[in-house]
Amino acid sequence: MPSEDPRVILTFVWVEHGKEHWETAIHEGLNRFLDNRREAGKEVGYTRIEMQRVISHPIDTDEYAVRYNMTRALEEAFRNHESNTESVA
């Protein structure tokens, strides 16, 4: 399931084998982030994301947690980028 936005490229370069089963949840978290940005009127320009690792626990981590953490990590990264861009302007 690729990103719904053709300007956003998500690749996987796993440093640990056996984590590939999280790829669908990662894509879903990315797409949720993109939907939230569109709803807020904040389009995402060209972005490339390279996933290397999902830190997970066999009991406590599920697809919801991976989707949630992907969405929140992107929100934080873009919030930090926006604040850095505003301070330069």
In a structure prediction context, what are the per-residue pLDDT tens digits for the chain, which is 89 residues long? 556 677 889 999 999 888 899 999 999 999 999 999 999 998 888 889 999 999 888 888 999 999 999 999 999 999 887 776 666 55
Q: In the prediction, which pLDDT does 88 show?
A: 56
Q: What is the DSSP letter of 15?
A: S
Distance between CA atoms of 52 and 48, rounded to whole angstroms? Answer: 13
Write out the two tokens for 45: 């320009």
pTM of the predicted model, to two decimals?
0.82
Q: Distance (Å, rounded) from C-alpha 26 to C-alpha 34? A: 12
* Helix (H) / strand (E) containing 12: strand 8-12
